[in-house]
């Protein structure tokens, strides 16, 4: 998609709405990950565990922030770090949830390029897009001081290469998005590149 027609857009949000708007940013697939050989009963247990972990992260402001471990490696859309499996799409009803899943699956997966070749790792092993992302269970973004960027809701290991987006905008625009909370010192570079 490099050099495809695209736009860099800045949306100014009223100070009173900033936190609520930023908490809508997601870096995950709206579906269930099912490891090979797992049953629907396993899905229900995994969902309950994820909901419990997310609720704990939301309730505790001192919840430890994730730290990216470069040894996790860089992954493609079907690589789950060695665990084979597949995304189980949501049911056809509601239709919008199914459409959101399809758009996310087609347009939001980041695949790192080869090291020292044109793309996100042209200068070394580190991805310029900050992928893979660490697991982050809170819907409130947090500032990652090591990488000078915000991290967004990324509940599962398998979500770590999903680009940040706002579900409603993804449904309306049906296009790839990279939605970021602006950092005072870096916004002009990205907007004007």
pLDDT for 116 equals: 76
Per-residue pLDDT tens over the stretch 13-33: 888 988 888 888 988 888 877
Q: Return d(Cα 156, Cα 186) in angstroms, integer.
A: 28
| Residue with token string 């992302």 | 133
Q: Which two tokens stand for residue 25?
A: 């940013």
Q: Between β-strands 149-151 and 32-35, what pairing exists: parallel, antiparallel or unpaired?
A: unpaired
pLDDT for 77 equals: 38
Inform me whether the pLDDT recorded for 132 exceeds 60: yes
What residue segments make up the domains of the chain, in order of their start?
A: 15-60+86-192
Q: What is the DSSP letter of 47?
A: H
Per-residue pLDDT tens over the stretch 144-172: 888 778 889 998 888 888 999 999 888 89
pTM given for the model = 0.72
Q: Which residues, 6 or more positions from 31, have their beta carbon under 8 angstroms from its beta carbon? A: 87, 88, 89, 90, 101, 105
Per-residue pLDDT tens over the stretch 32-78: 777 777 776 766 777 677 677 667 666 665 554 444 343 333 333 33
């Amino acid at each position: 998609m490099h050099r495809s027609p695209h736009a860099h857009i800045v949306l100014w949000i009223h100070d009173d709405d900033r936190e609520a708007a930023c908490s809508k940013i997601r870096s995950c697939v709206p579906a269930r990950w099912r490891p090979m050989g797992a049953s629907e009963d396993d899905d229900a247990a995994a969902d309950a565990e994820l909901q419990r972990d997310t609720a704990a992260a939301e309730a505790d402001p001192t919840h430890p922030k994730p730290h990216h471990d470069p040894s996790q490696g860089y992954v493609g859309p079907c690589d789950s770090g060695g665990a084979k499996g597949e995304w189980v799409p949501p049911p056809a009803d509601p239709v919008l949830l199914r459409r959101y899943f399809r758009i996310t699956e087609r347009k939001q997966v980041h695949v790192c390029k080869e090291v020292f070749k044109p793309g996100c790792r042209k200068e070394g092993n580190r991805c310029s897009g900050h992928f893979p992302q660490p697991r982050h269970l809170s819907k409130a973004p947090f500032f990652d001081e090591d990488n000078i960027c915000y991290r967004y809701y990324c509940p599962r290991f398998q979500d770590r290469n999903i680009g940040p987006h706002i579900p409603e905008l993804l449904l309306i625009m049906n296009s790839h998005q990279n939605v970021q909370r602006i950092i005072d010192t870096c916004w002009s570079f990205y907007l004007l590149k």
